Structure 1
């Protein structure tokens, strides 16, 4: 756990109405009365960075003791899957595991969508270690590493992320209702709840029919024939994945077929000569499970939690290997958890297997491309990740007023195609979150979407439009945008280069919050004006002079001509300025879903995409 330093620390929780809660932290002792609604709150005096400390809470003869409490800075990291993307699946995983320190802690908020603000937050703090960090946000962890090694105080990350969520889910209901442009979102959702149960029942019937007609037939266990279940098989070339995680999230696309997972573990001495139980949780859809090459169990169907007995004769001293083949017929596949572990059959210790595994696809089937052939989509309703205000109620509201230093945000992919509304949504969300934390200039640093897709045609520019909408937040004080246009991957919506994204966010924190180090931001446009025979565009954060990354002519720039068409163009580079010749009506740069350009500042950081209409 990490508590905020140098401020009055809010301590809050639930209790029996009318009872008293006593809090002890070092020499501090105080009591709070539990209100009629079942909540209590008090504030501790400011404390300096350091630790470890012990926090004690007592009420009604019960005591809760939290040990190894550090005092430092806490940052909230939120958004959808690219913020959620774990360290284990990032390109820089090995480096992050080497650098992680117990001075960095992470609280992962349990994903939850609620119809009303929750009073209690669900989740757990974990201490930085090479194993624990595998499931943390790669972007947030990279940010924390950069900040901690410079500021040298404990850093806590509160990770409240959920893949596939739209920004509307992260906003309070009042922030949308109070804005005439946004109120229809709430009104339409509330109206849609009429008849929801009937639509849900119809959907379940149709999806059962679809599954029956479309589920893939298993062609046979080809991986077993290749020795993938054997203990001695060399899996060093296999990919590393953090489990439990749906197969589709790992692949970044909808897939069915067969996938294998392998995990090496050392048998504890206390388990020698004893049987153990392999618990997998839920699997999508069918599994065949092996330990040291021997089959210990197999189950068909996704709604049956797996638990297999492994006899003492199967296990060996030293290294053992679990190998699991999952055949996914349709829907969400892979090892879904929520917990994977080995337990002693005599009720003793257990071994947590929610960690890094080796993985390899045996056979992959792409889903149908035609919309009418796809699996029916569940109707929107209570509990849905994209229900307006759902994630806010379940994952953000119960965090308030925990003392945070600032907010990191990486989201927008789910709102591609709705850029005109996104600007209003984004500004309203930032303003509302700051008001709820009672910090009008609470630092808010965010990632601008990377390039994605195989097309670089400007005519198909929904991602470019969303990036432009994201830039609108820079009009608010104490915001910073980290472009990632150069870090994308045409093949996947989840680019695996996360370390640099975290570094760019950390650059804002270090220079603008901590006042340390030399600023190093991506250049953005600060002005553009028409002059005799050309357009002069001025940039900030150049640190010398603009240049092309490869030394060739400038690429990625276009001008809007008199006939209304955009055409490729060149420009003259004058230190922190571009001079674009001609009597043109507009200029844009990197304006496509997955564009290519080469303009950078003196330290090699890319110029952010822009569009200027004159």
Structure 2
């Protein structure tokens, strides 16, 4: 059940019920979402008459008994001309230099949080001429046991002063979108290193999407543990607690109108395999519900390869499969492969440009119809044995090739005995033909199925083929 403002009042989280006020998501320099109804809300004196004026529209309402009020502006056309939003009650508030364009949520943990100042080539990017059509909203790292009504933040112009600590991936994607779409772009960064997916998910969403009993029990146990302890007894890394970042970092922004969401998270959940796909469904339900955007596009970044200590080499591939499974079973989601974007020695690869460019190309294609389906990762479709050769076909192959003109790498073939052996692969007519001298009757193939694998099989745009195991899910 969605929290209402009466429950927030009871929890002591509402703004004072006095003169009309706006939450911090409405400040100077903001970007309002184009082409859809735009909610504007706030608090005031019970019964206070409130009007909102913007772009030739005036919409009026009356604050309720709890002091809450909300209106909706009719869909707005994109505009780079700074305008003024005026809210009138017993007092008058103005928000200046407001643009209309597309607003994207940039969410996740440390690799989304990773600031532009820390990546390869950062100085040139930061010192580039400021783009007045990109605006930044940085949500601070805060947590709460209960849903909050506001957060201390503000919209900022994109400049050498504001860029260094802002999400590198978020900014680089936003920059490419702005360049291609030629409309203002608002970027809202909601990220905290080390956070778990449960921390950004509302508790009721797990029941709403009918997760398996194992996941439901796991989350219920986490919530019960949180409720049973005083703040002083909780773990220090609060970003790993259930719901607490949703309460403090997400809820205060809702139901702000947005275009979509970029999600780069999972390092802290990486050992969960297909359970993570269920948690992604719950996350999607939360954000789509609270941002009042049931078809909101969500784009997933698969985790780049990394050592992860002495863990089993197939643990991360199982996680990749979960990320892919969610994206392929949600008509408003997509994912990018990043097997060529990792650093075996650093869980935070410094070169974020290739990953961000690939993510931007996916967003442009799936959300805007710009580009081609070569932005999509080729994925496993089917396999069959032809004598001693294993033949694999793909979804959206788009001129498969190897980026180094060498035979296909990272192939392991097994027969009925289930023992895998190194194999050789070649591409012909968008099909992969695999053989191994050790396997005369192949039944199962693994491609890139290793936590450090960086296979050379790509499509014409250089997008890596998604790792796969033709027998995935059949092991006992």
Report if the CA contact (8 A) 2:361-2:375 is conserved. yes
**1:543 is the counterpart of 2:401:** no
Partner of 2:221: 188
* CA distance in structure 1 between the partners assigned to 2:469 and 2:319 by the alignment: 12
CA contact 1:105–1:126 (8 Å) conserved in 2: yes
- Distance apart, 1:531 and its partner CA: 4.0
Q: Secondary structure at the match of 2:204?
A: helix
1:40 CA displacement: 1.6
Q: Does residue 595 of structure 1 match 2:449?
A: no
Find the counterpart in structure 2 of residue 84 from structure 1.
Answer: 113
SS for the counterpart of 2:463 is: coil
Provide, for residues 324-367 of structure 1, a one-character-per-residue CA deviation record: whole Å limited to 9, x for no partner: xxxxxxxxxxxxxxxxxxxxxxxxxxxxxxxxxxxxxxxxxxxx
Once residues 32 and 185 of structure 2 are traced to their aligned partners in structure 1, the CA distance between those partners, rounded to angstroms, is 9
Instruction: State the structure with bigger RCO (CA 8 A, min sep 6), 1 or 2.
Output: 1
Distance (Å, rounded) in 2 between the aligned partners of 1:55 and 1:404: 18
Give the CA deviation at 1:86: 0.8
- Quick check: 1:522–1:608 contact (8 Å CA) kept in 2? no
Q: Within 5 Å, give how 1:166-565 maps onto structure 2.
A: 166-178=196-208, 179=210, 180-193=213-226, 196-197=229-230, 200=232, 379=235, 384-453=238-307, 459-473=312-326, 474-533=328-387, 534-544=389-399, 546-565=400-419
Kindly indicate whether residue 105 of structure 2 is the aligned counterpart of residue 72 of structure 1: no
**Following TM superposition, by how much is the alpha carbon of 1:557 offset from its aligned partner in structure 2, in angstroms?**
1.0
CA-CA distance at 1:52 after TM superposition: 0.5
Q: Within 2, Cα distance between the matches of 1:52 and 1:115?
A: 38
Rounded to whole Å, the distance in 2 between the matches of 1:64 and 1:475 is 45
From 68, 72, 82, give the equivalent of 1:43.
Answer: 72
Aligned residue in 2 for 1:586 = 444
Q: 1:111 to 1:443 in 2, by over 3 A?
A: same
* Alignment partners' CA distance in 1, 2:450 and 2:229: 38
- Pairwise CA distance, 1:157: 0.7
The equivalent position to 1:25 in structure 2, one of 48, 51, 54, is 54
Deviations 1:270-325, CA, capped at 9 Å, x for gaps: xxxxxxxxxxxxxxxxxxxxxxxxxxxxxxxxxxxxxxxxxxxxxxxxxxxxxxxx
Worse-matched range after superposition: 556-565 or 405-414 = 556-565
1:106-155 deviations in Å (ceiling 9; x for gaps): 11112222222222243211111122111211111111111111110001
Following superposition, the deviation at residue 496 of structure 1 comes to: 1.1
Q: TM-score, normalised by structure 2?
A: 0.84
How far the C-alpha of 1:185 sits from its partner, in A, is: 2.9
Task: Give the drift of 1:195.
Answer: 5.5
Alpha-carbon separation, structure 2, partners of 1:187 and 1:608: 33
- Size of the alignment, in residue pairs? 432
Q: Distance in 1 between matches of 2:430 and 2:333?
A: 22
SS of aligned partner of 1:571: strand
Structure 1 pair 125–438 and aligned structure 2 pair: CA distance change class (3 A): closer
How many Å separate the matches in 2 of 1:573 and 1:458? 32
Counterparts in 2 of 1:57 and 1:454: CA distance versus 1, 3 Å: closer
Describe the shift of the 1:603–1:127 C-alpha distance in structure 2 as closer, same or farther (beyond 3 A): same
Q: Please tell me whether the aligned partners of residues 109 and 193 of structure 2 are also in contact (alpha carbons under 8 angstroms).
A: yes
RMSD (CA atoms) = 2.3
**2:374–2:460 Cα contact (<8 Å) kept:** no
Please report how far the alpha carbon of residue 525 of structure 1 lies from its aligned counterpart in structure 2 after TM superposition.
1.8
**1 or 2, which has the higher strand percentage?**
1
Tell me, in whole angstroms, the C-alpha distance in 2 between the residues paired with 1:553 and 1:418: 33
Contact 2:169 2:352 in 1 (8 A): yes
Question: Which residue number corresponds to residue 126 of structure 1?
Answer: 156
User: Match of 1:156, SS?
Assistant: strand
Equivalent in the alignment of 2:90: 60
Structure 1 window deviating more from structure 2 (177-186 vs 475-484): it is 177-186
Mapped partners of 1:5, 1:195: distance in 2: 44
Alignment pair present for 1:106 and 2:139: no
TM-score by length of 1: 0.66
Q: Distance in 2 between matches of 1:151 and 1:482?
A: 21
Deviation at 1:85, TM superposition (A): 0.7
Structure of greater Rg: 1
CA distance in structure 1 between the partners assigned to 2:116 and 2:158 by the alignment: 12
Aligned to 1:257: none
Q: Check conservation: 1:171, 1:389, Cα contact below 8 A.
A: yes
